[in-house]
């Protein structure tokens, strides 16, 4: 059985950087916290916990020590709170997310009403929006953009994981809503590139494994796009969930992983598949 691992499987640039900063902070010791889970990988969160890093939901719960800001950022007031409390801050916000936050702040300051193209429930969007000092709207699609009021100056920024199509559709509507428009394309293509590669792989194998947290939206989406092409797609978090029966009659197996899946989990799954094959030959 041939095992093909996708080139883009696992950590994206921002998650890799955040995880590295978190483990570095954990190694320094002392009271160390993250606001919510640092990334959507229960296994990484557990490892950090074992090293003494606690995930707390609120900055108010933290009196002293070090606070690590997760890759998709936090709201401006949470960062201010952390500073007021004299906490040591390790800012692991992905530089691409930071850029979106900075654009929102700059647009507001320059007198633009801001339109953020994204999902209102997503913490990244809630963080980005918090940097506006004037009016700000969040729209996730063209229909929602149609409901925007007329504005004289509109600044458009996108959630980093938005699709380019949606951004273009919203911008089109904004062109009819305002007389002056400034657009920042803050989309990061890591997610799209990973999905395209996974689709191509699913098209040429007999069985596909997608590794990543069951709470990770990008991993779930990755499993969905693969399953649309290949029903023999399985979303797993760890090697122990691999079922030998999945490989009956399989000649080629494809493996990919979400942006918050560490390399060690991918390696364990690859090892497990090799082991299953070895057992079958016995």
Q: In which residue are the tokens 């997310």 written?
A: 97
Nearer to ligand F3S, 94 or 209 (CB): 94
User: Of 97-126, which residues contact ligand F3S (CB under 6 A)?
Assistant: 97
Residue among 10, 14, 73, 178 that touches ligand F3S (CB under 6 A) = 14
Q: Please tell me the distance from the alpha carbon of residue 209 to that of residue 232, in angstroms, as a whole number.
A: 9
Q: Which two tokens stand for residue 4?
A: 């093909």
For 29, left (φ over 0), alpha (ψ -120 to 50), or beta? left
Residue among 5, 6, 9, 12 that touches ligand F3S (CB under 6 A) = 12
The CA dihedral of 89, 79, 218, 44, to the nearest 10 degrees, is 30
Q: How far apart are the first and last CA of the chain?
A: 15
| 96 to 68, 103, 157, 206, 272: CA distances (angstroms) | 17, 11, 12, 36, 35
Residues annotated within the binding site for isopentenyl diphosphate are 40, 72, 122, 216, 218, 260
Active site residue 88: no
Nearer to ligand F3S, 157 or 253 (CB): 157
- Catalytic residue from among 24, 49, 124, 144: 124
DSSP classification of residue 32: E
Q: Please tell me the distance from the alpha carbon of residue 24 to that of residue 19, in angstroms, as a whole number.
A: 8
Q: Nearest approach, Cβ of 39 to ligand F3S (angstroms)?
A: 9
**10 Å Cβ neighbour count for 212?**
29
The footprint of ligand F3S on this chain (CB under 6 A) covers a number of residues equal to 13
Is residue 198 a contact residue for ligand F3S (CB under 6 A)?
A: no
The upper half-sphere exposure of residue 53, i.e. CA atoms within 13 Å in the direction of its Cβ, equals 27
Q: Nearest approach, Cβ of 98 to ligand F3S (angstroms)?
A: 9
User: Of 134-173, which residues contact ligand F3S (CB under 6 A)?
Assistant: 160
Is residue 69 a contact residue for ligand F3S (CB under 6 A)?
A: no
Q: Nearest approach, Cβ of 107 to ligand F3S (angstroms)?
A: 19
Residues annotated within the binding site are 12, 40, 72, 94, 122, 160, 188, 216, 218, 260
The span of 23-31, 89-97, 151-159, 264-272 binding ligand F3S (CB under 6 A) equals: 89-97
Residues designated catalytic = 124
Residues that bind ligand F3S (CB under 6 A): 12-15, 71, 94, 96-97, 160, 188, 190-191, 259
């Amino acid at each position: 059985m041939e095992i093909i691992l996708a080139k883009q499987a696992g950590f994206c640039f921002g998650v890799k950087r955040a995880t590295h900063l978190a483990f570095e902070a954990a190694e320094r010791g002392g009271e160390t916290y993250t606001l919510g889970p640092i990334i959507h990988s229960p296994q990484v969160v557990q490892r950090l916990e074992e090293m003494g890093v606690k995930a707390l939901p609120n900055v108010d719960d933290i009196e002293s020590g070090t606070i690590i800001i997760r890759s998709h950022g936090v709201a401006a007031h949470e960062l201010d709170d952390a500073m007021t409390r004299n906490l040591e801050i390790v800012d692991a916000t992905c530089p691409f997310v930071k850029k979106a936050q900075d654009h929102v702040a700059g647009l507001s300051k320059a007198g633009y009403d801001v339109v953020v193209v994204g999902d209102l429930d997503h913490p990244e969007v809630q963080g980005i929006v918090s940097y506006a000092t004037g009016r700000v709207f969040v729209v996730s699609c063209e229909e929602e953009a149609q409901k925007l009021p007329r504005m004289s100056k509109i600044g458009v920024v996108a959630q980093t994981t938005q699709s380019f199509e949606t951004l273009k559709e919203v911008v089109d509507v904004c062109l009819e809503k305002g007389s002056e428009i400034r657009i920042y394309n803050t989309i990061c293509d890591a997610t799209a590139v990973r999905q395209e590669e996974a689709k191509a792989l699913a098209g040429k194998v007999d069985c596909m494994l997608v590794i990543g947290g069951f709470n990770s939206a990008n991993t779930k989406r990755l499993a969905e796009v693969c399953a649309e092409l290949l029903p023999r797609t399985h979303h797993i978090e760890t090697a122990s969930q691999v079922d030998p029966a999945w490989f009956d009659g399989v000649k080629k197996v494809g493996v990919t992983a979400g942006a918050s899946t560490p390399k060690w989990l991918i390696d364990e799954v690859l090892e497990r598949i090799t082991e299953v094959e070895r057992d079958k030959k016995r």
